[in-house]
Every structure is written in C-alpha cells, then in structure tokens.
Amino acid sequence: MPTMLDVTGLGHRYHSKDGEHVAVDGLTFTVNAGELVCIVGPSGCGKSTLLRSISGLIRPTEGQVRLHGDVVDGVPSDLAVVFQDYSRSLFPWLSVQRNVEFPLKKALGRAERAERARQALEQVGLAGAAGKYPWQLSGGMQQRVAIARALAYRPALLLMDEPFASVDAQTRFELEDLLLRVRREHDTTILLVTHDIDESVYLGDRVVVLSKSPARVVRTLDVDLPAQRDQITTRESEAFVALRSEVARLLHDRPAESDAAGTDSANSSAGASTNGHRVAAKPATAKQSSARATDQASEQASEQDADQAADRGPAKDADRGTDQGADEAATPVKAEAAAAPKAKPHRNGQGGNRNGAKNRNKSGGRGRARR
Ligand SMILES: Nc1ncnc2c1ncn2[C@@H]1O[C@H](COP(=O)(O)OP(=O)(O)OP(=O)(O)O)[C@@H](O)[C@H]1O
C-alpha cells in the first residue's frame, strides 16, 4: 500500500505570555492508503495539536507533514476533518442537506451537489432527515451529519478528532460500526484520534500509542483482528483483550512481566521511544486484563478533560475560520472551522439560529444568517 500521510519529526511549541509550551515533540509515523490508523494518547498529550498540524490549521514548529508526498503548508484540498463537538461543527441555520452540500459549493454544480449529499446521508442512515435542521436532531444524528458532510466531499484522507466522545455509549458503538462499514465500502483512508483504548483497538488496523505531554510515539501496534468486527464478540476475543491490555500498559508506562526480561516492549515502556516502530501485541495474562477497570476510570477522567480541550481546540480554529467568513469555506476542514457557533444551539431552534446568525454577522458573514 502506498504511503498517503507521512509525519516526520513533527514538533509544535505554543508561545504565550507564560512562556513556551512544547505540545508535541519529534512525532514520526505514516498512514498508508486505505488504512484506518488510530492515535491514542493520554489527555492533554497533544493529540489535537497533531491533527491540527496535519490538517494545515496550524504550522508545525519542527518537522513536517507530507500528504501524497507534498509538504502540507495550508489546508489540503482533499482532506476532511470530523471534530468531537458536533454542536459546533454544523451550521444551525442550514438544513441537514445543505450542511452536507456546503463544502461542495465551489467544486460542483447544484444537481451534483444535491446527489452527493443524498448519497452520503443515505450511507449514514439519515436519508429521511435531509430537510431537518441540526437542532432538530439528536447528538448522534448530528454527528452522523458531520460524517456525511466529510464523506460527501470524498476526501483522500479523513481525520477524526475524538469523533464519538460526545455521544452516549450505545450511540458510540453504532457510530463506530457505521465508520467501519463506510470505510469498508469506500476504502477511505482514516486517521482517528481517541483517548479510548478499546475504541482504538476496535477500529484500527494499527494503533499509534503516544506518550504523556509532549506527545512522542511510544509504539505502533498492528491490530491483527478479523476485518469484520462485532461490538460483542470482537471485544470478548482473546486477541482483542491482549491488544487493549498492551495499549493500556504502554499508555500507563507499565511493562508486561514477560517484558521485564528485556524484550522490545520493556525497552519502549521504560522510556526508550521507538518512533514509528511496529510490533505485534503479546497475549494478555489475567493480570493484564484486570488493568481494564483502572483504565476505564482514567478514561472517564480523560473524557472530562477532552471536553474542555475541545472547547479550546476546534473553537480556536473556528474563530479563525469564522473571521474568514463561512462562504470561503472550500473544504470540510474550513467548513468545520467556519461553522462553530459559540453557544450550543437550543433544541427549539430559535436559540440555535439566533446564535449562529449572530456569530456570522459579527464575522462579516452575509445572506445565510438571515435564514
Ligand atoms: N493555543 C494554545 N496555546 C498554548 N497552549 C496550548 C494551546 N493549545 C493547546 N495547548 C497546550 O498543548 C498541550 C496539548 O494540547 P492538545 O489539545 O493538543 O492535547 P490533547 O491530547 O488533544 O488533549 P485532550 O486529550 O484533553 O483533548 C496541552 O498542554 C494544552 O494546554
């Protein structure tokens, strides 16, 4: 499989009045065409910074990102992003159909746009909701719309930043399976960031495990599970349990007992970073599997942190996009960035529309704010 995305020695430092903060440091990994690669790392380690660098929303301070061999120095035209916070990523004043069509406005004529949107909505099971507004939909449905918008664009690479972190557990499972199905049917290349260990193993062909801040690649694991996955039987399988335990150990910097004798894993867990290096997972012991409860507790804490980070991350980019004006949003990346009403739309629609229009007007937006 040819390499689609090549991240080499990527570093990013934020500068503020308090000084310099190194968010990611020397990250190196690749994503091949047709792969679904999951990035998993502790809360605050720099996952969103990494995705924003890949999507060209921020410029890395070190290293580089190449897409199809070309250095990324702006938002690539064939890339789409789905963010965690669906309530900020859709335009509340546009119908579902028109939200999905939006990034296609410059590239396609009206009829083709409408057809693409229709197909994408059908793929995500929302054919009947095309005429509704985002605020008339459940959270899970809104995230489906965001996914449909990305799919309609037919990106070479789909980036997903904690895409299912804001929905309930049952909806999350459904959306995970939707993603696997869509990916199978369309051979989409996907890079998905999550802090959920189980999700990374369930979805990924490979899992890239990041260290605590500043993010470095601790290890890349091949997920040697059957392509056809099932929320119950896959998660119960020995191979799944072994892999998720391995990821948990790497995240928690705890070497497996068998690794203490000096295996590759022990070296990595002890801090010898193996950037971009791949190994297969080792079988889990009962003790390793019991790490699950601890991880779940830490993941719950991470959920809260992730919510806060989402308020900071996409919203910040969104501000930038909004300043540019929503009409300039040529790709789903820019569309996501441009949308972002500051307040969560109200379910009755009034608040949603008003907020959206207000932000848009502030930023110099025209026309659509009147809807
Ligand atoms: N604009 C910014 N200015 C200064 N520091 C920032 C900025 N954005 C992020 N950071 C810091 O960089 C680090 C990495 O942030 P980032 O949001 O990339 O992490 P993350 O792994 O995505 O977090 P989470 O898992 O909580 O979503 C954090 O310490 C964060 O506080």
For the CA atoms of 273, 54, 344, 172, the dihedral, rounded to the nearest 10 degrees, stands at -60
Pairing label, strands 189-194, 157-161: parallel
Beta strands in 169-216 (DSSP E): 189-194, 206-210
Half-sphere CA count of 250, side-chain side, radius 13 A:
32
Contacts of 12 (CB under 8 A, 6+ apart): 22, 23, 24, 46, 49, 50, 53, 58, 60, 61, 62
357 CA → ligand 1 middle, Å = 29
Q: Which of 20, 21, 51, 195 most suits a substitution to test ligand 1, by most atoms within 8 Å of the C-beta? A: 21
Ligand 1: centre distance to CA 112 (Å): 39
Q: Report which ligand 1 atom has the smallest distance to the Cα of 162.
A: 27
Question: Which candidate, 132, 175, 167, places its Cα nearest to that of 150?
Answer: 175
φ, ψ dihedrals at 26, nearest 5°: 60, 40
pLDDT confidence of residue 331? 54
Q: Residue 218 in 3-state DSSP?
A: strand
Closest C-alpha to ligand 1, atom 6 = 14
Q: Is the dihedral of CA 216, 4, 77, 360 positive or negative?
A: negative
Domain locations in the chain? 3-370
- Asked if 94 and 145 count as a contact pair (C-beta separation under 8 A), the reply is no
Give residue for tokens 């007992």: 257
| Contact indicator for 58, 52 with CB cutoff of 8 Å | yes
- Give the residue, by CA position, lying nearest to ligand 1 atom 1: 14
Residue-level pLDDT at 41? 92
For 232, the 3-state DSSP assignment is coil
220: β partners:
208, 278
Dist CA 163 CA 270 (whole Å): 31
Q: What pLDDT, on a 0 to 100 scale, did the predictor assign at position 203?
A: 97
Which residue among 47, 298, 299 has the greatest number of ligand 1 atoms within 8 angstroms of its CB, and so is best to mutate?
Answer: 47
Q: Any bridge partners for residue 10, and if so which?
A: 27
Atom of ligand 1 nearest to the CA of 41: 21
Sign of the C-alpha dihedral computed for residues 286, 291, 296 and 302 taken in this order: negative
3-state secondary structure of 44: coil
pLDDT on residue 286: 38
Centre of ligand 1 to C-alpha 152, Å, is 30
CA–centroid distance, 50 to ligand 1, in Å, is 10
Separation of alpha carbons 336 and 331, rounded Å = 8
Tens digit of pLDDT at every position of the chain (371 positions) = 789 999 999 999 999 888 899 999 999 999 999 999 999 998 889 998 999 999 999 999 999 999 999 999 999 988 999 988 877 889 999 999 999 999 999 889 999 999 999 999 998 999 999 999 999 999 999 999 999 999 998 899 999 999 888 888 888 898 899 999 988 888 899 999 998 999 999 999 999 999 998 999 999 999 999 989 999 999 999 999 999 999 999 998 876 665 554 433 333 333 333 333 344 444 444 334 333 333 443 444 343 333 333 333 333 333 333 333 343 344 556 555 444 433 333 333 333 333 333 333 333 333 233 32
Ligand 1 centre distance from Cα of residue 11 (Å)? 13
Work out which ligand 1 atom sits closest to the CA atom of 50.
18
Instruction: Tell the burial category of 110 from Cβ atoms under 10 Å away from its Cβ (0-12, 13-18, 19+).
Output: exposed
Q: Which CATH number fits domain 3-370: 3.30.450.40, 3.40.50.2000, 3.40.50.300, 3.30.420.40?
A: 3.40.50.300
Report helix, strand or coil for 264: helix
Q: What strand order describes the sheet that includes 19-32?
A: 19-32, 3-16, 62-67, 70-71
How much distance in Å is there from the Cα of 224 to the middle of ligand 1? 31
Q: Whose CA is nearest to atom 25 of ligand 1?
A: 43
pLDDT recorded at residue 255: 67
Tokens of 242: 């072994």
Confidence at residue 310, expressed as pLDDT on a 0 to 100 scale: 33
Pocket residues for ligand 1 (CB within 6 Å)? 14, 16, 21, 23, 41, 43-49, 195, 213, 305-306, 309, 312-313, 316
Cα atoms in the Cβ-side hemisphere of radius 13 Å centred on 132: 15
Atom of ligand 1 nearest to the CA of 45: 21
Please list, in sequence order, all residues whose beta carbon lies within 8 angstroms of the beta carbon of residue 146, skipping any fewer than 6 positions away: 82, 83, 86, 89, 90, 163, 336
pLDDT value at residue 335: 54
What pLDDT score does 252 carry? 87
Q: What is the pLDDT of residue 338?
A: 44
Pocket test for ligand 1, best of 312, 316, 317 (most atoms within 8 A of CB): 312
**What is the whole-number distance in angstroms between the Cα of residue 22 and the centre of ligand 1?**
10
